[in-house]
Amino acid sequence: MVDRNISSSAAGEKELLFCLTEQSGVFRDAVQLLESLEAAAQRRELGTPDSVSQLQKALERVVTAQKKVEKAHAPFRGTENTLSADIKRSLKSHEELLRSLIGRIDVLQGVFEEIRTELVPQLDIEARRRSMHAAYRQSLKTL
């Protein structure tokens, strides 16, 4: 019975390590996408037409990968099993990637808020100009 628990624990760790490695790749891909969106936004470019779709898909992959990690980690919660050194190293690296991902999201949000702050007055001016043109056209029709 002890051998079965050890092999079960080893298989569980292997699965958890695989899921963490997979999630790290998803995090790296998401960070790269966020960096490219940030660079485009800094240049005040709109990026590719499917940028929002790409971002949404990347975030969906992050959520899916997280669910896999949670499922693989479940057998270790509430047990006396300690995680191996490999898992602990992977978790440390994984945590750094997650911090990077969150940092990129925060930076991108700041860039978009800055752009919005710049665009709102321009949009107000454009709306006022159109309104004045419409009023002028209307006054010409009444003459």
For residue range 83-116, list pLDDT tens digits in order: 788 888 888 888 888 898 899 889 888 888 887 7
Here the tokens at position 27 are 């995090």
* Pairwise CA distance, residues 27 & 23, whole Å: 6
User: Is 2's pLDDT higher than 70?
Assistant: no
- In residues, how long is the chain? 143
pLDDT value, residue 49? 65
- Angle 78-92-100 (CA atoms, 0-180°, nearest 5)? 120
Are 76 and 14 a contacting pair, CB within 8 Å? Answer: no
User: Is 75's pLDDT higher than 50?
Assistant: yes
- pTM for the whole thing? 0.67
Are 39 and 47 a contacting pair, CB within 8 Å? Answer: no
* Pairwise CA distance, residues 76 & 138, whole Å: 73
For residue range 29-59, list pLDDT tens digits in order: 998 988 888 888 777 765 566 777 888 899 8
Are 23 and 69 a contacting pair, CB within 8 Å? Answer: yes
pLDDT value, residue 47? 58
